[in-house]
Chains A and B, each alone.
Chain A
Amino acid sequence: MNTLPFTPPGKKNSGDSVVNGVDLSVNFAGIKAPNPFWLASAPPTDKAYNVVRAYEAGWGGVVWKTLGEEPPAVNVSSRYSAHYGKNREVIGFNNIELITDRSLEVNLQEITQVKKDWPDRALIVSIMVPCVEEAWAYILPLVEATGADGIELNLGCPHGMPERGMGAAVGQNPDLIEKVTYWCKKHYSKPVIVKLTPNITDIRVGAQAALRGGADAVSLINTINSITSIDLDNMVAKPTVGHQSTHGGYCGSAVKPIALNMVAEIARDPATPTLPISGIGGIATWRDAAEFIALGAGSVQVCTAAMLNGFRIVEEMKDGLSRWMAEKGYDSIDAFSRKAVPQTTDWKHLDINFKTIAHIDQDLCIECGRCYIACEDTSHQSIAKLTEEGARRYEVIEEECVGCNLCQITCPVENCITMVPQETGKPFLAWDNDPRNPFRVAS
């Protein structure tokens, strides 16, 4: 007897922007959504069926799987592979898929209907067509007619499409980024987001080009060129198509640090100080999202985590983010967006006089010796190995410790090794001004 003949009303309301008393709604470059959690352009947003399920699950917005010119792309069979952790958890995910393989007409019809049925959710259409103005002038009015809230230019797909002069090839050329963005602004009236490829040397160049072209926002990152593993028996990489393979695009948890840095680079670039950023790459928890937002993102996009777990993860993400915000007293996403940006700077501006050293909590130490061997073999020989009446004991030699954090990182016990800032009595001194710096600037 566990069920009644009727369903008791639950408290979860997927469309509510207020969660746990906190308003999660965002206005991203003019695109409104009940929360900052959007699905990135990829299989989860490939068709109305998926997108409606995503909205039902509570996602604030989606970027529709990239549309292209007719005829639609054709995919190979065997498309994904993974980089696993020791417990078979997926650390990184790799794919060799192309843009949508469904017809433009069907996609446009579905987009129109979905937007009509879900007016409160963000619906952005990702597009990739050849680098000629006519192609964009043709497709943009069709997309505009769907009523979608904006477009995202996919200039960053790292496989398949570049061979047709599209995608990453465009994304790697700042002039082309600017030109395509300009055409889009010319032939489309709503917000234009430029999705940047990470397969470049300096992400800021792409963002600056987008801004010059008139972009309303940028989103990043798309996937990173990758090969996840080799089948050593057959000497072929994965995913294996027949007896061959090719490089794919890497995403999932593993790319988060790379994506975070790229977001920060743009957020703190004086050339693009207020350009809205939609953060993408390895976001799986509320905390990942909070970190992207703190470093400059105004919304976040998720692909791999949803592909691995289903759409329902957004529930825990919204719950966790809103509880954390309430605890910190942030009453909106804007209230903490970019809060970590000012503290992110170039190496040369860091305080060279700052000193921190490792401290081992002997009560927590389990005497595994990992800190010792790490420091002894590869760092600064700053941990002493003592044997007291047969008991093992590890102690930091404070005079030798340079505060590199290696022992803390390798220690298996949480909070056992802490890095303790030292009172040096010395003033703040950036390397720029350090007398030891042959290229110093006079202060």
Chain B
Amino acid sequence: MTHPLDYLPSAKEVGTYDPDTLTNNFSDLHPPLTQRQAMIESQRCLYCFDAPCVEACPSDIDIPSFIRQISENNINGAAETILEANILGGSCARVCPTEILCERSCVRNHDAECQPVLIGLLQRHATDHMHFEQHPFKRAASTGRHIAVVGAGPAGLSCAHRLAMLGHQVTIFEAEQKPGGLNEYGIARYKMTDDFARKEVAFLLEIGGINIQYGQRLGDNLELATLRQKYDSVFLGLGLGTSRALGLTGEDAPGLMPAVDYIKTLRQTDDLGILPVAKRCIVIGAGNTAIDMATQMARLGATEVTLVYRRGVEAMPATHHEQEIAKTNGVRMITWAQPDEILLDSQGHVAGMRFAKTHEQAGRLAPTGETFEVAADAIFKAIGQGFDSASLRDPTAAQLARDGERIQVDEMLRTSLPDVYAGGDCIKPGQDLTVQAVQHGKLAAHAIHQALAAKQEAA
């Protein structure tokens, strides 16, 4: 996947390569709490009533309850409280931007302490240390219904698990050869280390009743009409498959590639040392993907990493906390500038980029007329993921109502086609957060269950 950069030196060849440092650079960004730290932290929780942190958690985890369980040394109980609401609670504990979710709402921010309870790390403590002889959730009696889920990302997996719990049979159709979606291929390596994503999926599947078929791509070797015919309901958890283009000439030049493609390889490799590294590189965008890319490049050994964003710092989609991570890793940030031209060397490789300075005029972004150049061996674009319309190419899928590019759903996560539901990043409004995708999957499962039950009653 990194072939556009294959002519660049590998991580082993740049700078002062040291395998241990490299491994370290990609180990846990926030190390887990020790037993004692978890105990002290759990006792900081006030066990608030109608807790604001719960309201802020997109997956409705009963936070005060699981923290009290930790403080009572009931780790399995704590884990079950978490997983009951969010079966991917282990990955959410690692990837949730807690600084804008639960922890931002924690009442401990207010008083003299000015510091929230470390909810994410406590959630991780419980899910890391749980130990069940058998899967903690039981399946209800079989309903005889069979549901198709397309996409084995957080949305699809969460939906499948809840459906299985409610007594349905589930088949997941996944385009890739591995489950997990962006948990497997997209999340920064230092946020979710080792093979956690895979282990979590294996745990989730222990409930039984879920079958995953790999290499099955809707819009390619799979049609929505067939799925609707063969299954009682269909859930679409397709995510966002394509990276937005810059719209400049030379976008296919060696040295320029989508950040997500590079991250995908970075997450999968067994040997970080063989990854191509651009000593000087540019990342375009200011979302979490851009920050992840810039930070990971710096940690691989790049010496000059420049992140360029067309607006000001305040407008950056990445949270303040994420921006700080990038800065700590020596990432330079340039704001109010947008790509103008890709600069190439005599061999046609990327040599840098010319940027047009921008400003806001009457509420609209406009070039000031000034330009500047940044030399670089590679450019990564991270200006957002788009919905891959190819997935909805077949005649039935093409009928799905859309809201912009994404799939339109109602409050029950129903699409415009009967018995077809959707959730996660591929719907509007998606928040592009793992935890939101998990919640959509869970809620859609309940909506499907209720609709099927109603049908049964009517029949």
Bound-state Cα–Cα, A316 to B69, Å: 6
- Which residues on A sit within 8 Å (CB–CB) of B72? 285-287, 316, 320
Complex interface bits, B25-65 against A, C-beta within 8 A gives 1, otherwise 0: 00000000001100000010001010000000010100001
Is the CB–CB distance between B68 and A313 below 8 Å? yes
In the assembled complex, B357 has its CB within 8 A of some CB on chain A: no
Is the CB–CB distance between A1 and B440 below 8 Å? yes
In the assembled complex, B74 has its CB within 8 A of some CB on chain A: yes
Bound-state Cα–Cα, A282 to B73, Å: 18
Is the CB–CB distance between B84 and A316 below 8 Å? no
Chain A contact surface mostly: loop
In the assembled complex, B123 has its CB within 8 A of some CB on chain A: no
Report A351 CB to chain B, min CB distance, Å. Answer: 30
Is the CB–CB distance between B74 and A323 below 8 Å? yes
Bound-state Cα–Cα, A287 to B74, Å: 10
Looking at the complex, which of A5-13, A74-82, A263-271, A295-303 is the stretch in contact with chain B?
A5-13
The answer to whether A316 and B77 touch (CB under 8 A), given A8-B446, A287-B72, is yes
- Which residues on B sit within 8 Å (CB–CB) of A286? 72, 74
Interface size on A, residues (CB 8 A): 24
Bound-state Cα–Cα, A234 to B35, Å: 44
Report B300 CB to chain A, min CB distance, Å. Answer: 35
How many A-B pairs have beta carbons closer than 8 Å: the answer is 58
Complex interface bits, A143-182 against B, C-beta within 8 A gives 1, otherwise 0: 0000000000000000000000000000000000000000
Report B109 CB to chain A, min CB distance, Å. Answer: 17
Is the CB–CB distance between B429 and A1 below 8 Å? yes
Report A236 CB to chain B, min CB distance, Å. Answer: 28
Bound-state Cα–Cα, A8 to B440, Å: 13
Of the candidates A11, A324, A414, which one forms a contact with B84 in the assembled complex, judged by CB atoms under 8 Å apart? A11
Closest to A315 in B: B65
* Most B CB within 10 A of own CB, among A1, A4, A11: A1
Report A248 CB to chain B, min CB distance, Å. Answer: 25
Report B40 CB to chain A, min CB distance, Å. Answer: 10
List residues of A (234-287) whose CB comes within 8 Å of B's CBs: 285-287
In the assembled complex, A30 has its CB within 8 A of some CB on chain B: no
- Which residues on B sit within 8 Å (CB–CB) of A316? 65, 68-69, 72, 74, 77
Bound-state Cα–Cα, A285 to B74, Å: 10
Is the CB–CB distance between B77 and A320 below 8 Å? yes
Is the CB–CB distance between A4 and B77 below 8 Å? no
Ranked nearest first, the 5 interchain pairs of A and B with the lowest CB-CB distance are A8-B446, A320-B74, A319-B77, A285-B72, A316-B68
Task: Known pairs A1-B413, A316-B68, A414-B35; list 6 more (Cβ under 8 Å).
Answer: A1-B429, A4-B443, A316-B72, A320-B74, A324-B74, A414-B36
**A–B Cβ pairs within 8 angstroms, 14 of them:** A1-B411, A1-B440, A2-B58, A2-B443, A4-B443, A8-B446, A87-B43, A286-B74, A316-B74, A319-B74, A319-B77, A319-B80, A320-B72, A324-B74
